């Protein structure tokens, strides 16, 4: 028992409602592991951001994120103010298992509720980087959002908008169904990327991933060399692939071997800017959340967050 004032932020609707059952099973083992803690339940999109910001301003030293990647993203954003400044730099974030998406947990090595409990008992933390993206919001106007795993755009952003129709299938199956739906009528948009001030020639793309973590889309190892504490972001560009080429590449996306394909470009940068051709909407996916479109600016916030790890 370390005595940290702890708040569990629980999205009971995550994983098609599975998180409610997960938390009921975890509640008593959690108290055995870390002592007493408070609980807050989310009831709308963005609610966890407000909950966490308020909790940190009131002196909570640890937040438990109970849900999928979307809930985690909101909790991460709660650690920072609107300008991207840390609210309580010494506070720590821990993950509980649940939700449709669990890609970030794969990078960390937390694959089950038991792993999460063991990490909390051990009390080991790692200071990790966080990404921040400024973009065109769905309601118009520029807005900003932090991400701890991967922000991407292109086909992945459209998949993000369609995955809700398949969430009852969970994880990889949900993303597969949404991908098939999104590919119907898809045309590779032409974008211009600028990496740390170096403008690359405009090119058609399927998806561009800006990665702090390694996995997205239900387990695709899209940026296998991404590291949480590297101080930079891994950039994975799936270029002008045809539908057939993309289908043939799909298996290697899960083991990271797609990086050897001639139409895939891997780079590393601290600041990435992306712009699409005039009149072409290119959708963003930010830690699995459909939040806006290009143009966008991505940057790394180095050593920005204390994360409980195995």
DSSP 233-283: EEEEEE-S--HHHHHHHHHHHHHTGGGGSTTEEEEEESEEEEEEPTT---B
Same domain for 36 and 88:
yes
pLDDT at 217: 84
pLDDT of residue 140: 74
Q: Token pair for residue 47?
A: 């609610």
**pLDDT at site 279:** 80
Residue after which a domain boundary falls, among 123, 147, 180 = 123
83: nearest Cα among 135, 144, 151, 150: 144
Q: What is the largest CA-CA distance in the chain?
A: 57
Same domain? 15 vs 84:
yes
User: Do 270 and 148 reside in the same domain of the chain?
Assistant: yes
2, 43, 69, 196: the catalytic one is 69
Q: What is the pTM of this model?
A: 0.93
The verdict on residue 309 lying in a domain is no
- Quick one: 189 and 273 in the same domain? yes
- Kindly give, in sequence order, each residue whose CB lies less than 8 Å from that of residue 38, ignoring residues fewer than 6 positions away: 6, 7, 8, 60
What totals of helices (H) and strands (E) does the chain contain, helices first? Answer: 8, 16
Q: Is 69 a catalytic residue?
A: yes
Asked whether the beta carbons of 138 and 299 are under 8 A apart, the reply is: no
Token reading at 176: 């597969």
φ/ψ bin of 184: left (φ > 0), alpha (ψ from -120 to 50), beta (otherwise): beta
Residues facing 298 on adjacent strands: 133, 272
Which residues are CB-contacts of 49 (< 8 A; sequence separation ≥ 6)? 74, 75, 77, 78
Q: Cis peptide before 258, with omega less than 30 degrees from 0?
A: no
Regarding whether 93 and 48 lie in a shared domain, the answer is yes
- Residue where a domain terminates, one of 77, 103, 123: 123
Is 24 within 8 Å of 81 (Cβ atoms)? no
Residue matched to tokens 């940026």: 223
Whether residue 22 is found in the same domain as residue 88? yes
In this structure, are 233 and 116 located in the same domain? no
Domain of residue 290 covers 131-303
In the chain, the number of structural domains is 2
Q: Name the H helices within 91-166.
A: 103-108, 113-122, 155-162
Low-confidence ranges of the chain (pLDDT < 50): none
Q: What does residue 69 show for φ and ψ, rounded to 5 degrees?
A: -65, -30
pLDDT, position 207: 96
Contacts of 161 (CB under 8 A, 6+ apart): 182, 283, 290
98 neighbors 18 (Cβ within 8 angstroms): yes
Only one residue has tokens 């993000």, namely 160
Single out the residue in 62, 93, 123 at which a domain terminates.
123
pLDDT at res. 15: 72
Q: Note whether 158 and 293 are same-domain residues.
A: yes
């Amino acid at each position: 028992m370390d005595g940290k004032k702890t708040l569990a932020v629980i999205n009971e609707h995550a994983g098609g409602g599975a998180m409610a059952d997960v938390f009921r099973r975890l509640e008593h083992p959690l108290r055995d592991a870390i002592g007493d803690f408070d609980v807050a339940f989310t009831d709308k999109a963005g609610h966890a951001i407000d909950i966490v910001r308020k909790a940190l301003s009131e002196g909570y030293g640890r937040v438990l994120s109970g849900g999928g990647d979307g809930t985690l993203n909101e909790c991460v954003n709660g650690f920072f103010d609107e300008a991207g400044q840390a609210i309580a730099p010494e506070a720590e974030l821990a993950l509980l298992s649940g939700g449709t998406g669990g890609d970030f947990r794969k990078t960390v090595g937390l694959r089950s509720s038991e792993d999460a409990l063991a990490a909390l008992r051990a009390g080991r933390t790692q200071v990790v980087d966080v990404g921040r993206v400024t973009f065109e919001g769905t309601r118009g106007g520029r807005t900003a959002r932090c991400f701890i795993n991967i922000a991407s755009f292109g086909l992945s952003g459209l998949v993000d908008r369609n995955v809700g129709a398949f969430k009852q299938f969970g994880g990889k199956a949900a993303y597969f169904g949404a991908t098939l739906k999104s590919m119907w009528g898809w045309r590779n948009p032409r974008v211009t990327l600028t990496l740390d001030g170096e403008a690359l020639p405009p090119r058609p793309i399927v998806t561009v991933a800006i990665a702090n973590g390694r996995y997205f889309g239900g387990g695709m190892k899209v940026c296998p060399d991404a590291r949480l504490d590297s101080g930079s972001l891994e950039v994975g560009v799936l270029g002008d692939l045809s539908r057939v080429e993309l289908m043939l590449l799909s298996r290697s996306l899960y083991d990271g071997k797609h990086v050897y394909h001639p139409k895939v470009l891997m780079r590393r940068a601290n600041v990435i800017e992306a712009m699409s051709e005039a009149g072409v909407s290119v959708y963003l996916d930010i830690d699995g959340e459909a939040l806006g479109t290009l143009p966008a600016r991505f940057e790394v916030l180095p050593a920005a967050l204390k994360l409980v790890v195995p």
